[in-house]
Structure 1
Amino acid sequence: MAAELTPRQKRRTHRAHRTYQTYRAVIGLGGPLLPVVSFLGRLPTAMCQLGTLLLVAETSGSLGTAGLVGGALAAGQTVGGPFVGRLADRHGQRRVVLAASCLNAVAVAALVAAALGHAPTAPLAALGVVAGLSVPQVGPLARTRLVALAHGADGEERTLAAVFSLEGTLDEVSFVLGPALVGVAAAVAHPAVALALASALLVVCGSAFALHPTARATAPSPSSRRAVRGRSLRGRAPRGRTRDRRTPRRTVYALGASAALQGGMFGACQAGITALTGDLGVPEQSGLVYGAMGAMSAVVGLAMASVPPSVGLPTRWRLATGAALVLSLPLLTVGSLFALYAVVVVLGCAYAPHLITLSGLTERAVPAHRLAESMAFMTSAVVGGQALALAVAGPLAEGRGPGAAFAVTVGSAALALLLALLVRPRTSDEAYRTAEPAEALAAPASPAAPADAVTSAPPATRGAATPPGSGRSG
């Protein structure tokens, strides 16, 4: 006869079953095909950075030229991400993603052709910028789409948490699998093959994501188009125009800074891992070590959906950044391959929770019709922080050893924790309620609802039907 479960085991079983049901509900929001095409559509972004470095290094024979072109690609993506997101907020995801996917595929193909043709550095860098600017931002837009679908369904905090956990996990897996595919293609054939595969995925899967029926969930209404046209993330409106929901820009910038610091942890850690494995005589292990960290981060990211809603997002932010700092300290003392594996795998437990929490805080901080731009801004901040950290930590690791690069990781984690401790994240509804009285009174309300209904709606109603003039879009 089977032994009866203890109360603790029953609670764990119930929590696991509830988490499973929540993920089933999230998959059901858009159907099983949506996460597949969104994952494959974001994979080229993870492939192009390393693929470009390897291709240009092989065709030009210069690591400096390869680094310059790779930096141009990262700079273009950092700058272009928010603009692509804003276009999606204004015109809808379908047209924007279709156009960006095709343009990005052409830009990547042109970069490959130019590199194989031994073009000078300047044209290669220019093509790198274009390839970065035109990245279709499938990851941020997929998050935005699922958030809209979740609000249109039940809008429960648990469902939203599962949305961000699933999307964070897909991001982590893509950024582990993408470089691995590039490495295999470069070893078996040529780096150009990896970039050709990335171009094909962009055209096929980027278009499939754009044409998926769920794209209608983020189609802007006429009122939201007017709101997006007159505003930016700074939360300003043209003179004489009211703000339906004010963006708390200090919160958005603080979250962006935290995302950039997370990118700094990624970049510095990558530089330190590469340097240490080289010193140990096993440079081929660097990708595996970094992949192990990403795999653990993805697993913990999936588990984030089981965290009870009673643990608020600001608390999760502080806990995640605190864990990143504490768990990164052993990097300063590692001296063997086994110790390196152990430390980075444990460190990966802090990274996905941090990024997932930042997504949740961003969703609360910005109006619904600015969400795509804001999510793309966060992703661009990670990319920019990673590129900057690589540029700083790489020479440090080369000149002073792996410990110097790992010190940049620890410093980035410390700054992220300080930011989480000092900043009180605000929501767009809070910012609206604390706006100037004249501005608040000027906001139009629905004739069928009380005038204060526009300002008193709780955050849980985001994405639900709202009065005309509220600026919300479905």
Structure 2
Amino acid sequence: MKVYGEILRSRYVGALVASSLLSRFPIGINALAIVLFLREQTGSFAIAGAVSGSLAAGSGLGAPFVGRLVDRIGARRVLVPLACIHALGLASIVGFTELDAPTAVLLVCGFVSGAALPPTSSVLRSLWTELLEPRLHQAAFALDSTMIELIFITGPLLTAGIAAVTSPAGALIVSAVATVTGTAIFTALPPTKNIHGQERSAAGMLGALAIPGVRTLVLVSLPTGIGLGILEVGIPAFSRAEGAAAAAGVLLAMWSFGSGIGGLLYGILPRQGGVFRMHLFVTALLPLTILPLAAAPSVVVMAFLVIPAGCCIAPLLATRNELVGGIAPPGMRTEAYTWPMTAFVGGIAVGAALAGVLVEGPGWRTAFLVAACISATSSVMVAMWRKTVLIPVTT
């Protein structure tokens, strides 16, 4: 673990990581907080789910364009205004709900708030190459992926705690304050001034999608996301089928815990071959770790199986981001990091919807088998189009 200490002791890195983590906590808070708040206020899970979905849709669809804006104008001029808009959107959901506003107004507020979520993750990744020696890049990207898992584990717990002490609206306010505060600290640190506006490249409207390797990683991320989206619904369905619905939260937390452990181990273990070879390896290994879930005979056994099933996720995201950093030129890097994540999140949404059909029909075992098969196509695609992610692009 010494390598992580070395990274965090590097000049400005510890402060950048801490402030970006604070600004990203809404990722783990907002969805549950919105559902709890709107269910309490409106009595409708349908409205709560729709508004939560609109926020996720805004975040996914808006991220690439926000990233492009950062590349064009600069991080300092974009991130804080976005954080304020995001916070205002969350506050508007609370305010308009209290005023009994139409659901359409809440949907717009959710979408705008999601679209304005500051891309501090992408900006931080683009700074790794400037702040750290090349030998530390593997661990840095692993640390970033592990932090995201930490957010997904602790965010819902924090939301539940705040809601119990105050109210679900209080959790949304805490989320808004965290975003603005974390983003303000992040942009005040000297390294962010290096993320400044770039001249418009020859890529035109396509932006970072004009880079073949970025398109490859976008396409590869979609089936991976679908597979994991199926698991997000399949695991709770398994728990319910076993008569232990309350265990679903524990199983999902252990799954995320496995991902965090995988990320930390990936960062410290010596890597044989290049980053592409490692990405291909973990992409191919993922479906093999999913397959045993279909044979789980009990909740206890499933608890042990979901940990290795999660171990590939953070390394997969870390190697993917490292590949993006190698093929995208500096003037497109922030945007380039967002496109594969947008496809990944979109895939999760598709997978969750597909899982609903599968668990209601053939059952949870079939859902896990389908998840393994779909995620396996990612490794085939990576192998087929490997040349596009092996050649750095310059403009």
Deviation at 1:109, TM superposition (A): 1.0
Query: Is 2:341 aligned against 1:379?
Result: yes
**Quick one: distance in 2 between partners of 1:228 and 1:431?**
12
Question: Which residue number in structure 2 is paired with residue 145 of structure 1?
Answer: 127
**Quick one: distance in 2 between partners of 1:266 and 1:29?**
36
Question: Which residue number in structure 1 is paired with residue 369 of structure 2?
Answer: 407
Equivalent residue runs for 1:344-423 within 5 Å = 344-423=306-385
Question: Which residue number in structure 1 is paired with residue 216 of structure 2?
Answer: 254
**Quick one: distance in 2 between partners of 1:316 and 1:45?**
27
Q: Is the 8 A contact 1:72 1:126 kept in 2?
A: yes
Question: Which residue number in structure 1 is paired with residue 187 of structure 2?
Answer: 210
Question: Which residue number in structure 2 is paired with residue 46 of structure 1?
Answer: 28
Counterparts in 2 of 1:342 and 1:364: CA distance versus 1, 3 Å: same
- Which residue, 295, 302, 307 being the options, matches 2:257? 295
Q: For residues 249-296 of structure 1, give each alpha carbon's deviation from its aligned partner in whole angstroms, at most 9, with x where no partner exists.
A: 2x2122112323333233211101121222333333222211111122
Q: For residues 161-191 of structure 1, give each alpha carbon's deviation from its aligned partner in whole angstroms, at most 9, with x where no partner exists.
A: 1221111111111122112222333444432
Deviation at 1:202, TM superposition (A): 1.0
SS in 2 for 1:225: coil
Amino acid aligned to 1:203: V
Question: Which residue number in structure 2 is paired with residue 81 of structure 1?
Answer: 63
Q: Is the 8 A contact 2:120 2:183 kept in 1?
A: yes
SS in 2 for 1:260: helix
Unmatched tracts of structure 1, length 5 or more? 1-18, 236-246, 433-470
Q: Is the 8 A contact 2:225 2:348 kept in 1?
A: yes
SS in 1 for 2:240: helix
Amino acid aligned to 2:286: A
Question: Which residue number in structure 2 is paired with residue 15 of structure 1?
Answer: none
Unmatched tracts of structure 2, length 5 or more? none
Question: Which residue number in structure 2 is paired with residue 342 of structure 1?
Answer: 304
Q: Is the 8 A contact 2:62 2:115 kept in 1?
A: yes
- Which residue, 87, 92, 113 being the options, matches 1:105? 87
**Quick one: distance in 2 between partners of 1:23 and 1:424?**
33
- Which residue, 110, 131, 136 being the options, matches 1:159? 136
Q: Is the 8 A contact 2:216 2:389 kept in 1?
A: no
Question: Which residue number in structure 2 is paired with residue 458 of structure 1?
Answer: none
Counterparts in 2 of 1:83 and 1:328: CA distance versus 1, 3 Å: same
TM-score, normalised on structure 2? 0.92
Question: Which residue number in structure 2 is paired with residue 271 of structure 1?
Answer: 233
Counterparts in 2 of 1:115 and 1:391: CA distance versus 1, 3 Å: farther
**Quick one: distance in 2 between partners of 1:205 and 1:166?**
18
Q: CA RMSD in A?
A: 2.3
SS in 2 for 1:234: helix
Counterparts in 2 of 1:22 and 1:49: CA distance versus 1, 3 Å: closer
Amino acid aligned to 2:153: V
Larger helix proportion, structure 1 or 2? 2
Larger Rg: 1
Of 382-391 and 362-371, deviating more is 382-391
Deviation at 1:103, TM superposition (A): 0.5
Deviation at 1:374, TM superposition (A): 0.9
**Quick one: distance in 2 between partners of 1:425 and 1:307?**
26
Query: Is 2:175 aligned against 1:198?
Result: yes
**Quick one: distance in 2 between partners of 1:175 and 1:71?**
17
Q: Is the 8 A contact 1:264 1:388 kept in 2?
A: yes
Question: Which residue number in structure 1 is paired with residue 290 of structure 2?
Answer: 328
SS in 1 for 2:388: coil
Counterparts in 2 of 1:362 and 1:139: CA distance versus 1, 3 Å: same
Question: Which residue number in structure 1 is paired with residue 201 of structure 2?
Answer: 227
**Quick one: distance in 2 between partners of 1:324 and 1:121?**
40
Deviation at 1:318, TM superposition (A): 1.8
Amino acid aligned to 1:212: L
**Quick one: distance in 1 between partners of 2:39 and 2:228?**
22
Counterparts in 2 of 1:189 and 1:398: CA distance versus 1, 3 Å: farther
Q: Is the 8 A contact 1:44 1:199 kept in 2?
A: yes
**Quick one: distance in 2 between partners of 1:62 and 1:367?**
47
Question: Which residue number in structure 2 is paired with residue 172 of structure 1?
Answer: 149
Q: For residues 113-147 of structure 1, give each alpha carbon's deviation from its aligned partner in whole angstroms, at most 9, with x where no partner exists.
A: 23344433211211111111111122222111223
**Quick one: distance in 1 between partners of 2:373 and 2:2?**
37
Amino acid aligned to 1:286: A
Question: Which residue number in structure 2 is paired with residue 13 of structure 1?
Answer: none
Deviation at 1:84, TM superposition (A): 1.0
Deviation at 1:55, TM superposition (A): 2.4
Counterparts in 2 of 1:31 and 1:381: CA distance versus 1, 3 Å: same
**Quick one: distance in 2 between partners of 1:394 and 1:206?**
37
Question: Which residue number in structure 2 is paired with residue 448 of structure 1?
Answer: none
Q: Is the 8 A contact 1:361 1:425 kept in 2?
A: no
SS in 2 for 1:321: helix
Q: For residues 203-228 of structure 1, give each alpha carbon's deviation from its aligned partner in whole angstroms, at most 9, with x where no partner exists.
A: 111211122222123224xxx32338
SS in 2 for 1:227: coil
Q: Is the 8 A contact 1:255 1:378 kept in 2?
A: yes
Deviation at 1:379, TM superposition (A): 2.3
- Which residue, 108, 133, 138 being the options, matches 1:126? 108
SS in 1 for 2:10: helix
- Which residue, 16, 41, 48 being the options, matches 1:34? 16
Deviation at 1:429, TM superposition (A): 5.5
Q: Is the 8 A contact 2:71 2:331 kept in 1?
A: yes
Deviation at 1:400, TM superposition (A): 4.2
SS in 2 for 1:233: helix
Equivalent residue runs for 1:174-189 within 5 Å = 174-189=151-166
